[in-house]
Amino acid sequence: MLGGGKFASGAMAGAFVHMFNAEMGYRPLKYKGRFTKVVLGVGTALDRDNNVLRHQHIFFDDDGTNRGYGSTGMMQHENRSEYTHMQYYDDKILHQAVNNVGNWDANDYGTWVNHNCQDYVDVVVNEYYRLGGK
């Protein structure tokens, strides 16, 4: 185990968590190409019902890819720096969960009625736990 120096405060552990794990987080919604200022619902009943007014997305640190779902279908070109409220998952297991869930069709998208980005992440995370993720 490395010790001392600038990582003695525990920053090293945080760096390793970020380096070897997938992350899931939220960013503000976009309207006409710009971020909205409305941020509502993370950690509330809206969150439990997948109706948070934010986009939810998955980022893989092992290969730099990312995955999400929106009104245009599957999304793979998001900027990690725009996201907050990150939760960490095992890259290998989450990759398998994403593969098992597969692609969702843009025609099934609907913010309140059909599927949305949070529903997609929810299904992936449920599959992650089914596969033995912790």
Look at residue 43 and tell me if it is in a domain.
yes
Structural domain that includes position 42: 10-130
Query: Given pLDDT bands bounded at 50, 70 and 90, which one contains residue 3?
Result: very low
- pTM comes to 0.78
Tokens 């245009």 found at: 72
**Encoding tokens for residue 44?**
């509330």
**Tens-digit pLDDT profile for residues 65-109:** 999 999 899 999 999 999 988 999 999 999 999 999 999 999 888
**Encoding tokens for residue 113?**
């009625």
Phi, psi angle pair for 54, to nearest 5°:
-155, 155
- Among 123, 125, 104, 113, smallest CA distance to 51 is for 113
Look at residue 86 and tell me if it is in a domain.
yes
Q: In total, how many domains does the chain have?
A: 1
**Tens-digit pLDDT profile for residues 7-62:** 444 444 444 445 558 999 999 888 777 777 665 666 666 666 776 778 999 999 98
Per-residue pLDDT at 54: 85
